[in-house]
Amino acid sequence: MASQHVLCWHVAATMLEELVSTDLRRAFWSQPPTPDLLVHSDLGGQYCGNDHRKLLRDR
């Protein structure tokens, strides 16, 4: 089953890893992840950072 709901979004002057990690935490808080979770990104550097990858791995 798929959902096309936006769970979290944020606008800022810069795209830091902290920004995307914070938004991922907010999305997980608003809707706890399921085992078949699929996360889309544009593969920018901030999405490849250690904190962001750890959040995804630990969920």
Dig out the tokens for 32 from the structure: 């706890």
Give the pLDDT band (50/70/90) at residue 5: confident
Dig out the tokens for 17 from the structure: 């890893």
pLDDT (mean) for 16-32:
86
Task: Please tell me whether residue 26 adopts helix, strand or coil conformation.
Answer: helix
pLDDT tens profile 40-53:
887 788 888 888 88
More confident residue, 2 or 9: 9
Dig out the tokens for 18 from the structure: 């902290």
Dig out the tokens for 41 from the structure: 């990104």
pLDDT above 80 for 20: yes
Dig out the tokens for 46 from the structure: 């901030």
pLDDT of 17 reads 86
pLDDT of 3 reads 66
